[in-house]
Amino acid sequence: MFKIGEFSRLTRVSARMLRHYEKCGLIDPAEIDRFTGYRFYSAGQIPLMNRIVMLRDAGFSIDEIGEVLAHGEDARFVREVIERKRAEIENAVALERDKLRNLARLADVMKGEAMGMIYEVELKRLPAVDVLATRGVLAAYDREGELWHKLGAYMGRHGIACEAGGYSIYLDEEYKDAGALVEVAVPVRQMGASDGDFTYKTLPEIGLAATVRFKGPYNQYAAATEKLGQWMEQNGYAFAGPLRGQAIVSPGDRADPADFLTELQVPVEKR
């Protein structure tokens, strides 16, 4: 039997974590002295501890480790869990890659130089439009493409004709990092029956909308809002509804993001 410090050196897990794993139900000492509270681990527990370490080093959380250990015999379960975790890690790698891409653009941004072009703000009336729409909660705004794919696939399956100029409508009252409710909609010539997530509806007319167009990838959004915000402040307008973007030239039309043309549209009212 080993005292906690010895077991710690042997397994390379800190005593702090040994106690923590115990509280989380991963591993109990083989024996606890009833009077002193000293923990004693047996050599037979080293394999279990090594599994825990292995799982931890593969990126599993404590809860997940508990689950895996409970189903340790079920090879199929283990295989599935591993596959799921693999996807998760690949995703994390992709996130780090995103950071690198952002980093590369950073020097320009810090100098206040924006790529792409932003046009002047216009005030106009936007007519009502019949659309086919679907919505979803996105992990981040740059995942909007997923919704478009979903909508595109549905339209393909049902042979629905697609007009140009899709809308992205940002429904959340307030931005949430972990989940933004976004609706994507394509104009249709003919309404149909709604079907689950996919609904036909009419986007109402916007009597007074402030609009600004920007060319380039969607991360130009930030620069465009600068202009829009400034215009609203200078001209004394206030928000009167959710912001939306209309794809004038979209990924469907051109491959190069530098060619994209997007119009930001927001209902406003004179203050």
Partner DNA sequence: CTTGACTCTTACACAATGTCAAGGCTTATG
Partner DNA sequence: CATAAGCCTTGACATTGTGTAAGAGTCAAG
Phi, psi dihedrals of residue 59, rounded to the nearest 5°: 95, 10
Q: Which is nearer to DNA, 54 or 153 (CB)?
A: 54
Least separation in angstroms between residue 69's CB and DNA is: 13
246 in Cβ contact with 165 (< 8 Å): yes
Decide if residue 5 touches a second copy (CB under 8 A): yes
Write out the H or E segment, with its range, that includes residue 66: helix 62-70
Q: Which is nearer to a second copy, 110 or 161 (CB)?
A: 110
Decide if residue 19 touches a second copy (CB under 8 A): no
Residues 31-60, interacting with a second copy (CB under 8 A): 42-44, 46-47, 50-51, 53-55, 57-59
Decide if residue 63 touches a second copy (CB under 8 A): no
Can you tell me which of 109, 115, 162, 248 binds a second copy, judged by CB under 8 A?
Answer: 109
Least separation in angstroms between residue 159's CB and a second copy is: 36
Residues 71-90, interacting with a second copy (CB under 8 A): 72, 75, 78-79, 82, 85-86, 89-90
160 three-class SS: coil
Decide if residue 112 touches a second copy (CB under 8 A): yes
Residues near a second copy (CB under 8 A), total: 77
How far apart are the C-alpha atoms of 72 and 70, rounded to whole Å? 6
Compute, in degrees rounded to 10, the torsion defined by CA atoms 219, 220, 225, 228: -160
181 in Cβ contact with 243 (< 8 Å): no
Decide if residue 209 touches a second copy (CB under 8 A): no
The DSSP-derived string for 119-158 is: ---EEEEE--EEEEEEEEEESSGGGHHHHHHHHHHHHHHH
Residue 43 binds which entry of DNA, a second copy, none, CB below 5-8 Å type-dependent = a second copy
The DSSP-derived string for 203-261 is: EPPEEEEEEEEEESSGGGHHHHHHHHHHHHHHHTEEE-S--EEEEEE-TTT-S-GGG-E
Site string for a second copy, 135-174 (x = CB under 8 A): ------x----------------------------x-xxx
Half-sphere exposure of 3 (CA within 13 A, CB side): 4
Residue 150 binds which entry of a second copy, DNA, none, CB below 5-8 Å type-dependent = none
Q: Which residues bind DNA (CB under 7 A)?
A: 3-6, 14-17, 19-20, 33, 35-39, 56, 61-63, 173-174, 176-178
Residue 62 binds which entry of a second copy, DNA, none, CB below 5-8 Å type-dependent = DNA
